[in-house]
């Protein structure tokens, strides 16, 4: 069967090469079909059938139908729309993306640093969470994760509080399950022209798996240290005889005890997708995801002086019954329509609903001389809902000899949160000695309500962008977005309410020169905005925070286009930052400013044969440049000055060792400060991982060791009473099969 698939694939590739179609990406395949998984062959074959451009969404290709369309009905794609067909899996990276421009564009032609981590890297590294993916990317580190309950990251020195899911804002209240991830995109710098209100450092966009045209089923079980058990299922195929109705279902269950004391964790996840090829020009996709997550609420360690308290990293300062629970339902619909050979329309709706509850003994004050930590039982009970609608019109046309790719679109977003925080009466929660803890405090009733209210935000954005190929070697990207944002808050305790309306225009312009077909040199300018809600001492509303970035860089496809490298330098200025009003410190004024500048290098791909690498380095200086409260020159919290990573994987293709894979990686993170006052910092660390795998007849067995040398390290310094330690040496074994 595998040899037959290989012959079909070779034949199809030869036909495409004969037709002069180049630049088709290998669906993350880094193993030959002869010894690779059946899914690899199926996904490669699916790319060789007819795919209308309208079926492409955010860099993904969704098969239009199971059977090839007649020649007259087949769209004739140009080389800019396709990634290179690679029979022997010589690609380890994606050449095209839609995350940055909302148009399917080669990375070489985008004047912005964008790093794409494909599914294959996640599998090779035995990744189980989003942070495992982005540690391969320069300039990205873990941020304040709210006791490991959220996925939050720091990009280019600035906290990024939101994620994108296929280009839609995703709910923040839970860590993401990566079982349905196809790839992870890190869009560096301001991206407000495409996604509206965002922090200036960047945004992470994850792309989910799409239905396949032929029957496919895969199952995997991971087991490991700390009683880890994680089975996953991935099934796909046609639901109708004509192949116009396809489905995909990803599901996962996970439980573990964790390396921290009394840290039982359990998660259920399912993500069904159905695609209907209504006609040769129109495709409709329905998707949903359901998540149920229950874990301990664990703030981690605490600061001691200018460092971290010297206790075992497994020690908790809460109580065994502390918990964080979330239930989430998301669903959406998207339509892709090819109006003509040159014009296409895509429109999508996305809804998210969450219920969030937690109860914990929160650290309040630490007496360093006695080791006594005072605590307070408290809990949150919230409901979050978001609704989003996006519509894009994309057209390709010429003016004289100049090629244009025009994007016109709008986005509507509505979100709200309603809930309360209650606390136990002061003094009702027993303190704990961090050096000799005694647990078992009886949970106290939460009788003091400190928050009871509603907050809402609605926004409308209109954007216009033109990608202009002035010549074969000179390209210009120019565009702008206009946003109107209205925020509302209701404080039931204070019996007050507030409404604020802001407007913002965020431009982006970039110039790109291609001295060779595989090299581009670029420069760009872009802006971002983040609305604030509140009043100054004079009763005036706060203006949005704004960010501006200048970036220059070089991109290249090397080693016969098997390796992709990016070198970028940037400077970001964030303005209108709130700082204490010197007249009345109880109020704030907007005179603060923060700057981030640095150099980044990323490379990903295949060096030769089965040898693959993912490497990065970042040098960053993120500081307070103007403030009334904090010293100018103070480092921004959580932002390391240097980060580096190197992952290498070798897959034996022939001989007695065919099917064997060996991988190892080193990840370095510099020391980081924990707050704007720079009152404490956490040390740098080097973490080493290794993997061993073997593929045979559609099966794969793998063993990975994380933190091979059992290094004590801090993953995230959120604030003095919340410092998240990294896990000690951890073993994870897996067995998977594909049919």
Summarised one tens digit per residue, pLDDT across range 528-549 is 999 998 888 888 899 999 999 9
- Other C-beta atoms lying within 10 Å of the C-beta of residue 495: 7
Report whether 271 contacts 235 (CB < 8 A). Answer: no
Residue 310 token pair: 């010297």
Give 712's contacts (C-beta < 8 A, 6+ positions apart). Answer: 313, 685, 725, 726, 728
Confidence band (pLDDT; 50, 70, 90) for 91? low
pTM of structure:
0.87
Q: pLDDT (tens digit, 9 = 90+) per residue, 674-716?
A: 999 999 999 999 999 999 999 998 899 999 999 999 999 999 9
Judged by DSSP in three states, 405 sits in strand
- Helices 2-18 and 38-47 sit at what angle, rounded to 10 degrees? 30
Q: pLDDT (tens digit, 9 = 90+) per residue, 23-82?
A: 333 332 333 333 333 333 333 333 333 333 333 333 333 333 333 333 333 333 333 333
- pLDDT surpassing 90 at residue 259: yes
Report whether 562 contacts 91 (CB < 8 A). Answer: yes
The dihedral of CA 135, 40, 556, 481: what is its sign? negative
Report whether 216 contacts 236 (CB < 8 A). Answer: yes
Report whether 391 contacts 410 (CB < 8 A). Answer: yes
Query: Is residue 414 exposed (0-12), middle (13-18) or buried (19+ Cβ within 10 Å)?
Result: middle
Right CATH for 216-738 from 2.60.120.620, 2.160.10.10, 3.40.50.2300, 2.40.170.20: 2.40.170.20
Q: Cα 297–298–299 angle (5° rounding)?
A: 125
Mean pLDDT, all residues of the chain: 88
Q: pLDDT (tens digit, 9 = 90+) per residue, 96-109?
A: 999 999 999 999 99
Report whether 165 contacts 208 (CB < 8 A). Answer: yes
Confidence band (pLDDT; 50, 70, 90) for 205? very high
- Rounded to whole angstroms, how far apart are CA atoms 292 and 506? 37
Residue 91 token pair: 């690609």
Sorted by where each begins, the domain ranges of the chain are: 216-738
């Amino acid at each position: 069967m595998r040899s037959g698939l290989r012959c079909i694939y070779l034949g199809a590739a030869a036909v495409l090469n004969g037709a002069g179609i180049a630049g088709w990406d290998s669906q993350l395949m880094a193993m030959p079909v002869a010894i690779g998984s059946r899914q690899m062959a199926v996904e490669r074959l699916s790319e060789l059938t007819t795919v209308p451009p309208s079926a492409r969404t955010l860099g993904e290709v969704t098969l239009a139908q199971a059977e090839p369309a007649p020649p007259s009905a087949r769209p004739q794609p140009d080389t800019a729309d396709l990634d290179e067909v690679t029979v022997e899996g010589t690609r380890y990276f994606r050449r095209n993306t839609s995350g940055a421009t909302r148009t399917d564009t080669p990375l070489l032609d985008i004047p912005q640093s964008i790093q794409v981590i494909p599914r294959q890297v996640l599998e090779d590294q035995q990744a189980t969470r989003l942070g495992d993916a982005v540690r391969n990317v320069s300039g990205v580190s873990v941020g304040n994760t709210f006791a490991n309950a959220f996925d939050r990251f720091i990009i280019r020195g600035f906290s990024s509080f939101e994620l994108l899911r296929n280009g839609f804002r995703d709910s923040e209240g839970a860590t993401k399950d990566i079982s349905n991830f196809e790839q992870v995109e890190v869009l560096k710098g301001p991206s407000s022209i495409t996604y509206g209100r965002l922090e200036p450092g960047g945004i992470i966009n994850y792309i989910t798996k799409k239905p396949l045209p032929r029957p496919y089923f895969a199952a995997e079980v991971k087991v490991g240290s700390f009683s880890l058990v994680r089975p996953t299922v991935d099934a796909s195929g046609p639901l109708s005889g004509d192949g116009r109705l396809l489905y995909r279902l990803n599901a996962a269950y996970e439980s573990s005890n964790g390396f921290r004391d009394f840290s039982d964790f359990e998660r259920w996840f399912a993500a069904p997708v159905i695609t209907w090829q209504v006609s040769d020009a129109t495709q409709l996709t329905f998707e949903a995801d359901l998540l149920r997550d229950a874990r301990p609420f664990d703030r981690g360690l605490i600061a001691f002086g200018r460092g971290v308290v010297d206790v075992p990293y497994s020690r908790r300062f809460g109580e065994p019954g502390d918990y964080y629970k979330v239930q989430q339902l998301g669903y959406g619909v998207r339509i892709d329509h090819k109006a003509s050979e040159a014009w296409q329309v895509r429109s999508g709706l996305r809804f998210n609903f969450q219920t969030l509850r937690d109860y914990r003994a929160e650290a309040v004050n630490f007496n360093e001389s006695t080791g006594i930590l005072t605590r307070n039982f408290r809990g949150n009970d919230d409901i979050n809902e978001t609704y989003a609608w996006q519509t894009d019109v994309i057209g390709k046309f010429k003016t004289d000899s100049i090629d244009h790719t025009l994007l016109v679109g709008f986005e509507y977003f509505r979100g709200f949160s309603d809930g309360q925080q209650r606390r136990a009466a002061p003094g009702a929660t027993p303190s704990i000695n961090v050096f000799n803890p005694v647990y078992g405090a009886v949970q106290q009733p939460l009788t003091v309500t400190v928050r009871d209210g509603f907050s809402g935000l609605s926004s409308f954005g209109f954007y216009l962008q033109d990608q202009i190929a002035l010549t074969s070697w000179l390209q210009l990207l120019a565009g702008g977005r206009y946003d109107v944002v209205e925020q509302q808050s209701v404080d039931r305790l204070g019996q007050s309410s507030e409404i604020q309306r802001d407007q913002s225009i965020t431009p982006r312009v970039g110039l790109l020169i291609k001295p060779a077909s595989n090299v581009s040199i670029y420069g760009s300018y872009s802006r971002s905005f983040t609305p604030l809600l509140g009043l100054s001492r004079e009763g005036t509303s706060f203006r949005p925070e704004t960010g501006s970035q200048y970036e220059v860089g070089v991109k290249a496809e090397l080693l016969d286009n098997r390796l992709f490298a990016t070198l970028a330098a940037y400077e970001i200025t964030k303005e209108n930052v709130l700082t204490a009003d010197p007249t009345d410190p109880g109020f704030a004024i907007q005179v603060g400013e923060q700057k981030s500048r640095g150099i980044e290098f990323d490379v990903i791909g295949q060096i030769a044969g089965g040898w693959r690498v993912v490497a990065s380095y970042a040098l960053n200086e993120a500081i307070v440049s103007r403030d009334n409260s904090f010293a100018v020159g103070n480092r921004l919290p959580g932002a390391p000055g240097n980060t580096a990573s190197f992952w290498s994987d070798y897959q034996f293709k022939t001989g007695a060792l065919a099917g064997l894979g060996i991988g190892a990686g080193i990840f370095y993170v510099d020391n980081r400060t924990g707050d704007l006052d720079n009152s404490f910092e956490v040390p740098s660390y080097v973490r080493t991982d290794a993997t061993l795998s073997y593929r045979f007849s559609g099966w794969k067995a793998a063993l990975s060791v994380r933190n091979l040398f059992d290094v004590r390290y801090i993953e995230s310094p959120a604030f003095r009473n919340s410092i998240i330690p990294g896990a000690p040496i951890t073993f994870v074994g897996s067995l998977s099969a594909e049919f």
